[in-house]
Structure 1
Amino acid sequence: MLATGIDRFFTSSDGVRLHYVDAGRGRPLVLVPGWCMPAWIWEQQVAALAFSHRVIAFDPRSQGQSQIATRGHEPGRRGRDIMELIAQLGLPRVVLVGWSLGVLDGLAAIAEHGDQRIAGLILVDNSVGEGPAPSGASRSRFIPALRQRREPTVRGFVASMFRTPQPPDYLDRLSRDVLRVPLQASIDLLSYPRPREYWRDAVYGTRRPVLYAIRPNFAVQGEALAARHPDARIEVFEGAGHALFVDEASRFNGLLAEFAARRAQWA
């Protein structure tokens, strides 16, 4: 349990017990973490924003405290899990915040189920299918490394997510949570069977406001998104790592609160 939140569970329509942390009151924010990451990585957002918002940090299937699933590690099912979480909470609309793989899970949710229950999208540091396709070289190296040297590969990946130094026990805890995800599930999560156009069509298929919080390597995609989407804003975190909401938590939290107050479509 995060310091300011309550652990809760619900069962998905295909029988998987899913965990989330529920904190605070007010306009709801649903936070979806990245590849194999636990909900508690959002701890700085929960601590700062639960004073003024209802903050729900989600553990996707097989991640964090959610049940290890034997199936469903693909975008359609994981997007459905997000929509079932929102329905479980009884919320008419939420600001949906997805980081890394959580960007794709969130876009799959609206692609398959529409945006009626979405007040706005915050997409954090992953592709939205714009511009030239990135090289697949890093993935082609990473998956064999996971198979052959899983623990050092995971620990190296976790450490690489941050630009600011993190305590060794924090990095160790994160790494152990990643290693809890079964190897094949972790590989399946890196191999989403969708063309890039699927993600691009999803983000342009909604007229809900979008905040795209990214590092400079996604700037070209950000410029295209800002030019083509009627209500998209781009924020580039020049000095942060992939987990930019940890490296620059105060800035990120301020942007999230401002987005929820001024741009999200609650009505």
Structure 2
Amino acid sequence: MSVAAGRYIEVESGVELFVQDVGSGEPIVFIPGWTFTTEVFSEQVAHFSKTNRVIVIDPRSHGRSTISLHGNDYITHGSDLAKVLQVLNVKNATLVGWSFGCLTIWEYIRQYGMENMKSLIFVDMSPKPLSTNHEQDWVEGPLDDIGTAYTAYLRNPKGHREFVTSYTTQVMVQRELSEDELNWLVEQSLKTPYYIAANLFSAGMFSDYRHEAKLASNSVPTLTIVAEHWAEIAKGFTQKISPKSTFEVLGGHLMFWEYPEKFNEIIDRFLRNEK
């Protein structure tokens, strides 16, 4: 994607979000996960912009958007999304959230309802990321592990870098990455300062959007795509929380980057079936 395709949208005084808006047709809006940027969706933009209007957002304090010392939570990210959709006059959209980007969509639903949504796609995120009952619920990990990530790693730049490097190689992708690939992915995350990354991490982990997940699947066509490593427990949890959601399994947490053709075909198939 070229920088020329981007623009900045002011969501409040002094805070601008970087947005790429390419192609024409029915809109598809992609929202990246925790500390990541528009750039991870390059293969999706290249593919879907041939047939659709494709919008990709750097949330506040991510990528090229303003680094803000306030509003680094998903309540604010939900209202930021609403402002972007309003400014761009987006109607009848398919929203695609990856990881904590799903929280942004569920928060938007909490605040604004289902207005202007045609369909929803949630990529590899539980609507309740943290639970003490991790043996049965679809969660990001046991409470002690999540606490360690916050207190031992996300307290300084070195820890942030080590945490993202480990998560990228162990969870996000399934193949061995080249040094350049790994460095590029880690650098995407490091564009968000560690102290903001820590705030976003805790805000996300303590979220509970089970009600919004159910409302979404009951209201519009909804697709949930999850990584292979937790597919069984994620499927059972999804069927309980949002039973009308279509369910697919692919790769690791960053499946759309590692397996773009397979991922894009899953979305194409879903969009064809909803018409």
Letter in 2 for 1:234: F
Q: Does residue 245 in structure 1 map to residue 253 in structure 2? A: no
Aligned to 2:195: 184
Aligned to 1:145: 153
Q: Secondary structure at the match of 1:12?
A: strand
Q: Is the 8 A contact 2:226 2:234 kept in 1?
A: no
Q: Distance in 1 between matches of 2:101 and 2:165?
A: 20
Q: Distance in 2 between matches of 1:5 and 1:123?
A: 28
CA positional deviation for 1:262 = 2.8
Q: Distance in 1 between matches of 2:58 and 2:206?
A: 25
What is the aligned residue count?
260
Letter in 2 for 1:71: H
Q: Distance in 1 between matches of 2:112 and 2:14?
A: 19
| TM-score, L = length of structure 2 | 0.86
Larger deviation: 169-178 or 129-138?
Answer: 129-138
Q: Distance in 1 between matches of 2:75 and 2:94?
A: 20
Q: Distance in 2 between matches of 1:184 and 1:192?
A: 13
Q: Is the 8 A contact 1:99 1:124 kept in 2?
A: yes
Q: Match for 1:154 among 160, 164, 169?
A: 164
Alignment of 1:105-254 (within 5 A): 105-129=104-128, 132=137, 134=139, 135-143=142-150, 144-147=152-155, 149-150=158-159, 151-160=161-170, 161-192=172-203, 198-206=208-216, 207-216=219-228, 217-226=230-239, 229=242, 231-237=244-250, 240-254=251-265
Q: Is the 8 A contact 1:212 1:222 kept in 2?
A: no
| TM-score, L = length of structure 1 | 0.88
Letter in 1 for 2:220: R
Letter in 2 for 1:146: L
The runs of 5 or more residues in structure 2 that have no matched partner are 130-135
The runs of 5 or more residues in structure 1 that have no matched partner are none
Render the CA deviation track for 1:23-42: whole Å, top value 9, x for unaligned.
Answer: 21111110001110011100
Q: Secondary structure at the match of 2:213?
A: helix
Taking a change above 3 Å as real, the CA distance of residues 154 and 28 of structure 1, as seen in their structure-2 partners, is same
Letter in 2 for 1:215: A
Taking a change above 3 Å as real, the CA distance of residues 262 and 88 of structure 1, as seen in their structure-2 partners, is farther
Letter in 1 for 2:212: A
CA positional deviation for 1:251 = 1.5
Taking a change above 3 Å as real, the CA distance of residues 17 and 45 of structure 1, as seen in their structure-2 partners, is same
Letter in 2 for 1:96: L
Q: Does residue 76 in structure 1 map to residue 87 in structure 2? A: no
Q: Does residue 39 in structure 1 map to residue 38 in structure 2? A: yes
Q: Distance in 2 between matches of 1:118 and 1:224?
A: 24
Q: Is the 8 A contact 2:138 2:234 kept in 1?
A: no
CA positional deviation for 1:214 = 0.2
Taking a change above 3 Å as real, the CA distance of residues 227 and 132 of structure 1, as seen in their structure-2 partners, is closer
Q: Does residue 63 in structure 1 map to residue 62 in structure 2? A: yes
Letter in 1 for 2:137: P
Larger deviation: 185-194 or 48-57?
Answer: 185-194
CA positional deviation for 1:194 = 7.7
Render the CA deviation track for 1:208-250: whole Å, top value 9, x for unaligned.
Answer: 111000024143343343356463100012xx11101112211
Identity %: 25
Render the CA deviation track for 1:55-101: whole Å, top value 9, x for unaligned.
Answer: 11110001011110111111110011111111111111211100111
Q: Secondary structure at the match of 1:106?
A: helix
Letter in 2 for 1:45: Q
Q: Secondary structure at the match of 1:251?
A: helix
Taking a change above 3 Å as real, the CA distance of residues 127 and 48 of structure 1, as seen in their structure-2 partners, is same
Taking a change above 3 Å as real, the CA distance of residues 21 and 145 of structure 1, as seen in their structure-2 partners, is same
